[in-house]
Amino acid sequence: MKAGIAQIALHNDIGLNMAKVRSCIESATKLDLDILCFPECALTGYLRDFRTISQDEVIRAMDELQEIAANQGITILIGSPYIEGGKAYNAALVISPNARMRYFKNNLTDFDKRYFVEGKDILSFKVKDTKCGVLICRDQNYPSLAFEYARRRTRIIFLLSAHYYPYDQTKLKLEKNRALPIARAVENGIFIAKANAVGSTGDHISLGHSMIVNPTGVVVREASENREELLYYDI
């Protein structure tokens, strides 16, 4: 399985984000990638009032991505708010050529808690017979989630992130957010593919450093802290 992660800047405009997502998918298909993972809330932007989002617009974007996945033969993994049973979740949507699944963030930040309900389950799925799992951002802090994926013989965990911090804090958080995916990989003998946002939103910034870590803890691919990039690796 050829896995890719897209490090992109996020906007609080679904149309702008979708244009960027389409461009990344076009590049991914030229590289024959089987799956492409985008950051947390890449569809809508992260630092925003999620109550103002049009759910109809989100659903239309999801339907368009489903059509793209079917036409291009690629699985798309993208972050978005998701309404189910009258409750809002911070979700990772797995959109394959013939199916649609979702994972809900288990461990919410204080900002998340203004809008979202915690998820309770994990999600496994297969791409080319490779078993994959999903986590979102702060879930990386909790070893039990990655351990449960490993117990289920998952080969790779995709970690969707949007590590936005005030400018005076972002450098202090950088090494922690690099170290945790490496730790989860080594502890469980599993690949970790982390797609992080990059760039600023208001007075907050995300310093990228998206990465793919192999089961021995070696960072085999890593993006910069200030550019949009597409990373990929043959699992």
Please report, for the chain, the start and end positions of each structural domain, with discontinuous segments joined by +: 2-234
DSSP at 51: G
Q: Please give the sequence-ordered ranges of beta strands (E in DSSP) within 30-123, or none if there are none.
A: 35-37, 75-84, 87-96, 99-104
Q: Which two tokens stand for residue 133?
A: 């799992």
Rounded to whole angstroms, the Cα distance separating 36 from 74 reads 8
Q: Is the dihedral of CA 73, 4, 185, 78 positive or negative?
A: negative
Whether pTM exceeds 0.95: yes
**pLDDT tens-digit readout, 186-234:** 999 999 999 999 999 989 999 999 999 999 999 999 999 999 999 999 9
CATH architecture of 2-234: 4-Layer Sandwich (3.60)
Give residue-wise pLDDT tens across range 13-55. Answer: 999 999 999 999 999 999 999 999 999 999 999 999 999 999 9
Q: What is the mean pLDDT of residues 99-114?
A: 97
Give pLDDT tens digits for 152-161.
Answer: 999 999 999 9
Q: Which residues contact 114 (CB under 8 A, 6 or more apart)?
A: none
